[in-house]
Each structure stands twice: as structure tokens, then as C-alpha cells.
């Protein structure tokens, strides 16, 4: 189960306010007013659900501890988080197709049974915990975890989170549960790939790379100066923009580290 302590006080407050009413309508209004998202658009909603699941079932786990220990760098985390979000999104989209949803409106989710979500959660769990699957960094999950105990610790976390993910839908319905998970993704991870604000964030990032006067670089552009020249694979800004928009996990390690060091996550779109 995701740990609320991992969320900022403001995010916790907004989610608690939404949960107090426990209705689809309040979740929808939270997405509209706090995240600027139209919850009626199914593709947008599924993007945010994918982010929420990735943050809850993957990042906010022992994975973050291993990151702090140095097993994964900041650039590694950016690539793996975006890769995992894409994997969750593709499985959510496939599940919707299998469930007969052809509408672009999220209201179609109301016709799905909670039992169908259990099937989805099982698929997500098996993919997330597969020790043989290869991360975009080149190593397998088994190589990252290093021991049976590590893998079991992660499996337990993913199982608890996905159990909570499905359990909340038994009483309130599938659409409610997905809206709540989308609120998690929208509010806790506004700087992530696949968030509706990501394209604007990327466009601003590309613009300021050649503008040392932008406030992001400090009053005298000193942060841009300390950052140094882009790595070779990041020097073509058109290609860099396309990669950031479509598949950040395909960045090579030097480019990923440089982009994180440049503070893309701290930009205001």
C-alpha cells in the first residue's frame, strides 16, 4: 500500500479533502480544479492512473530506498519511472479494449465489474515483480534487487498497493477507484512524463537551454554555467524534445543525468 507520508502535506490535504466526500463527483472536481484535467476524457484519465499506479506500486517502495543507497541514479529513476508508466498505460489501454470500451469518455468505466479489475491488477503485479524483466538501464529487476529478501520486500509492497487499488472499487465502483488513483497521479507527480502538463514542461525546458537569462538559471545564469555543455546525444534540441515527449527511457545515461541536473522537474510549465 502506498505510504501517505511519501506525499507532500499539500497533496495529502487535497486527497484527504476529496476522500472525505468519497464520490465520483468530488474526485472529478479535484482533477479539474487542482490539476486542470478533464476527467471525462478516458485517455487522459488512464495516463494519470498509470502515473498513480507507478508511483504507488513502484517508486514509493523499497525502490526509493535503493535509489538513496546508490543502486539507481537520479537519471536512472527518471528513465525507469517513465518506462514503467508507459508499461502501466499500455496494459490499462489493452484492458479497456478487452472490456469492450470503445468510447473516449471515462463514463464507460461504470460498466466494468470490480472482478475485472482484479484480473488487471494480477497482470500488473506479475509484470512489476518479474525478476527477469529488463529495466531501461540494462539490468534486470533481479540484478537490481540483489537478493531473494529484496525481491520479497518489493513483492509485498506491490501486492499491498494493488490490493488497495482493487479493494477501493468493491464498494464505490471501478470508475471511482480509477478516479482516485488518477488524483494521486495528477497531484503527487505533476513533473512526470505522461502528465498532461509534461509537453509544456518539455517545451519550456528546450527554450531555456539557450536562454541564460531565464530565472530558472538564477539571477546571473550561474546555474546554467555550472551545468556545462549538453552531452553529445542531447545537443540536437529537436531530437531531444522528441525523445522527452515520446520516450524518455530511451535517453542514454549521460543525457538523462544532465537533464535531471538541469532541473526539468522543477520548471513551472
How would residue 11 be classed by pLDDT, with cut points 50, 70 and 90? confident
| Whether pLDDT at 2 is above 50 | no
Give residue 231's pLDDT: 97
How would residue 17 be classed by pLDDT, with cut points 50, 70 and 90? low
**Top-confidence residue, 35 or 202:** 202
Q: What is the pLDDT of residues 40-59, one digit of tens each?
A: 999 999 999 999 999 999 99
Give residue 9's pLDDT: 77
Q: What CA–CA distance (Å, rounded) separates 48 from 97?
A: 18
Q: What CA–CA distance (Å, rounded) separates 123 from 115?
A: 13
| Whether pLDDT at 84 is above 60 | yes
Give the range among 103-107, 129-133, 202-206 with minimum mean pLDDT.
103-107
Average pLDDT over residues 234-262: 98
Please state, rounded to an integer, the average pLDDT across all residues of the chain: 92
Average pLDDT over residues 49-75: 97
Provide the whole-model pTM: 0.90
- DSSP 3-state of 134: strand
Instruction: Provide the grid cell at 29.
Output: 472536481
Give residue 44's pLDDT: 95
Query: Is 189 buried (19+), middle (13-18) or exposed (0-12) by CB count in 10 A?
Result: buried
How would residue 136 be classed by pLDDT, with cut points 50, 70 and 90? very high
| Whether pLDDT at 120 is above 80 | yes
Q: What CA–CA distance (Å, rounded) separates 133 from 187?
A: 29
Average pLDDT over residues 142-156: 96
Q: Tell me how far apart the 2 most distant CA atoms of the chain are, in Å.
A: 58
Amino acid at each position: 500500500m502506498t505510504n501517505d507520508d511519501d506525499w507532500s502535506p499539500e497533496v495529502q490535504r487535497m486527497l484527504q479533502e476529496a476522500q472525505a466526500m468519497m464520490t465520483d463527483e468530488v474526485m472529478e472536481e479535484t482533477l479539474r480544479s487542482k490539476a486542470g484535467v478533464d476527467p471525462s476524457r478516458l485517455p487522459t484519465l488512464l495516463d494519470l492512473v498509470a502515473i498513480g499506479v507507478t508511483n504507488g506500486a513502484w517508486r514509493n517502495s523499497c525502490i526509493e530506498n535503493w535509489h538513496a543507497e546508490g543502486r539507481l541514479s537520479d537519471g536512472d529513476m527518471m528513465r525507469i519511472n517513465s518506462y514503467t508508466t508507459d508499461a502501466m498505460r499500455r496494459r490499462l489501454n489493452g484492458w479497456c479494449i478487452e472490456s469492450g470500451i470503445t468510447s473516449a469518455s471515462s463514463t464507460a468505466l461504470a460498466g466494468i465489474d470490480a472482478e475485472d479489475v482484479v484480473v488487471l491488477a494480477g497482470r500488473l503485479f506479475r509484470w512489476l515483480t518479474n525478476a527477469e524483466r529488463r529495466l531501461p538501464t540494462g539490468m534486470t529487476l533481479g540484478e537490481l534487487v540483489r537478493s531473494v529478501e529484496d525481491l520479497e520486500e518489493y513483492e509485498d509492497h506491490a501486492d499491498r498497493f494493488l490490493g488497495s487499488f482493487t479493494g477501493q472499487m468493491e464498494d464505490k465502483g471501478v470508475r471511482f477507484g480509477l478516479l482516485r488513483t488518477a488524483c494521486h497521479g495528477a497531484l503527487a507527480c505533476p513533473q512526470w512524463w505522461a502528465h498532461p502538463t509534461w509537453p509544456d514542461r518539455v517545451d519550456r525546458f528546450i527554450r531555456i537551454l539557450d536562454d541564460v537569462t531565464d530565472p530558472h538559471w538564477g539571477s546571473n545564469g550561474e546555474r546554467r554555467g555550472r551545468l556545462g555543455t549538453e552531452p553529445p546525444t542531447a545537443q540536437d534540441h529537436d531530437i531531444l524534445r522528441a525523445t522527452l515527449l515520446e520516450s524518455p527511457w530511451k535517453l542514454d545515461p549521460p543525457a538523462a543525468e544532465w537533464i535531471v541536473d538541469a532541473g526539468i522537474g522543477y520548471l513551472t510549465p
